[in-house]
Amino acid sequence: MNEKKELAVAALRNGTVIDHIPSESLFKAVEMLGIANLDKSVTIGFNLASRRLGRKGIIKIADVELSPETVSRIAILAPTAVINTIRDYRVVEKRPVALPEEIVDQIVCNNPKCVTRNQPIPTRFNVVDRGPVRVRCHYCGHEAVGDQIVIK
């Protein structure tokens, strides 16, 4: 694995490395994570060579560990991502993100006439395909695929 080489680029003492993000999803992930407003040190890699994806993105955030909710949002954007948790320069956990069968209250339905867009209702989406990610609104049946998916 090239994991050691990557971590050596900007070794983290504590924090999180989000690896194997498809390049086209990288900046969406950056935005979704609210990195622009973070006061931690962050390294963003774009269009890095990847055997699996061709080109990939990587985000390293010091002193932050991600909540399960954030991890599942990353899964929607970047289902191939792997989350590495770093403590004292060591990878203590290496976990591929997991896209659940149903995603509750994390996606906005693209159908302006959907009941969830007009009433105070948590959205519910079923994952109907995983590569690329395709989701279907539980209520109105509207589908969104890949970068059409809008995260709350």
Partner 1 sequence: MANNSIVSINDLSKEEILKLLHTASLFEANPNRHILDGKVVATLFFEPSTRTRLSFETAANRLGARVIGFSDPAATSTAKGETLKDTIKMVSNYADLIVMRHYLEGAALYATEVTDVPVINAGDGAHQHPSQTMLDLYSILKTQGRLDDLTLTMVGDLKYGRTVHSLLMALSHFRVRFNFVACKELQMPREFIDFCGKNGIEYHESREFSPEIINSSDIIYMTRVQRERFTDLMEYERVKDLYNLNNAMLADSRPNLRILHPLPRVGEIAEDVDDNPKAYYFQQAKNGLYARQAMICRALGIEVTD
Residues of this chain that interact with partner 1 (CB under 8 A) are 111, 113-116, 118-121, 137-142
Q: Give whole-number Cα distances, 44 to 18, 35, 85, 105, 115, in Å.
A: 10, 10, 16, 28, 38
Distance of CA 40 to the CA centre of its chain: 19
List CB contacts of 112: < 8 A, sequence separation 6 or more: none
Containing 108, the helix (H) or strand (E) segment is: strand 107-108
Q: Which is nearer to partner 1, 115 or 150 (CB)?
A: 115
Main-chain phi, psi angles of 18, to 5 degrees:
-100, 110
Least distance from C-beta 93 to partner 1, angstroms?
36
Q: Which is nearer to partner 1, 67 or 119 (CB)?
A: 119
124: β partners: 104
Q: Which is nearer to partner 1, 122 or 131 (CB)?
A: 122
Least distance from C-beta 150 to partner 1, angstroms?
17
Q: Which is nearer to partner 1, 4 or 113 (CB)?
A: 113
Least distance from C-beta 113 to partner 1, angstroms?
5
SS3 1: coil
Least distance from C-beta 106 to partner 1, angstroms?
17
Q: Which is nearer to partner 1, 11 or 115 (CB)?
A: 115
Least distance from C-beta 39 to partner 1, angstroms?
39
Largest Cα span, the chain? 50
